[in-house]
Copies of this chain bind each other. A is one copy, B any other.
Amino acid sequence: MTAAERTPGAPRRRGRRPGGADTRATLLEAARAEFAERGYEGATVRVIAERAGVDPAMVNHWFGGKETLFTAALDMPLDPKALIADLLPGDPDGLGERIVLRFLTIWDHTGGGRRLAALVRSVASHDVAARMMRQFVGMFVRRVVSSVAPDQVELRSALCASQLVGLGMVRYVLELEPLASADHPTVVAAIAPTMQRYLTGSLG
């Protein structure tokens, strides 16, 4: 429900609810609405907590902060800060390889297929999810790409996203062989050079 849709004069949930089994779900719902309306930068933990009718401390309790809340709201099984801290150090020419390997590790180990299929359905069905996914790429992918890209950071980010999304679709959702069950070294050898060119190579 957006502010505009709220009936004028209708009571707004302001009471603090105790942290409990449904607090996490309520927070996620409020976060999705708030991120969709205001974007990642505009949304605040305070307003999301207020919208959910819980204490802001609950956000840190359940999610550790705004970034993790955002990826949880997208149902992405990752911690952006940890991910960036893992990926960036090291040879810039090996970043493509590190990204592909990390992508495979994350999705292989978290029931990739069903979870990714749900995410894809959501992105293809709802503007809110598509907008959140654009924000995700705009923030996290862009942050990783800009650490090594010599120019055209936006285009390089979108290109990296295109190959990762396509790999996810083919391996986990379509389950197209031999990519669906290929081992990590095979997939990395084939796809890492593509990622590396999108990161640091010539785009033509």
Contact of A175 among B117, B125, B130, B165 (CB under 8 A): B130
Chain B residues with CB under 8 A of A164: 166
Q: What is the chain B residue whose CB lies nearest that of A130?
A: B174
Judge if A82 is at the interface, Cβ distance under 8 Å: no
Chain B residues with CB under 8 A of A197: 193-194
Q: How many copies does the complex hold?
A: 2
Chain B residues with CB under 8 A of A137: 174, 176
Give A181-199 as 1s and 0s: 1 = Cβ < 8 Å from B's Cβ atoms: 0100010111111100110
Judge if A49 is at the interface, Cβ distance under 8 Å: no
Chain B residues with CB under 8 A of A170: 158, 161-162, 165
B161 x A176 contact (CB < 8 A): yes
Judge if A124 is at the interface, Cβ distance under 8 Å: yes
Give Cα A173–Cα B165 distance, bound, in whole angstroms.
11
Question: Which has the most chain B C-beta neighbours within 10 Å: A124, A177, A191?
Answer: A124
B159 x A190 contact (CB < 8 A): yes
B155 x A179 contact (CB < 8 A): yes
A167 x B162 contact (CB < 8 A): yes
Contact of A190 among B125, B161, B204 (CB under 8 A): B204
Q: What is the chain B residue whose CB lies nearest that of A152?
A: B178
How far is the CB of A78 from the nearest CB of chain B, in Å? 18
25 contacts between A and B (CB under 8 A): A118-B124, A123-B174, A124-B124, A124-B173, A134-B175, A137-B176, A158-B170, A158-B176, A158-B178, A158-B179, A161-B174, A162-B163, A162-B170, A162-B179, A162-B191, A164-B166, A165-B165, A165-B166, A165-B174, A166-B166, A166-B169, A188-B204, A189-B203, A190-B203, A190-B204
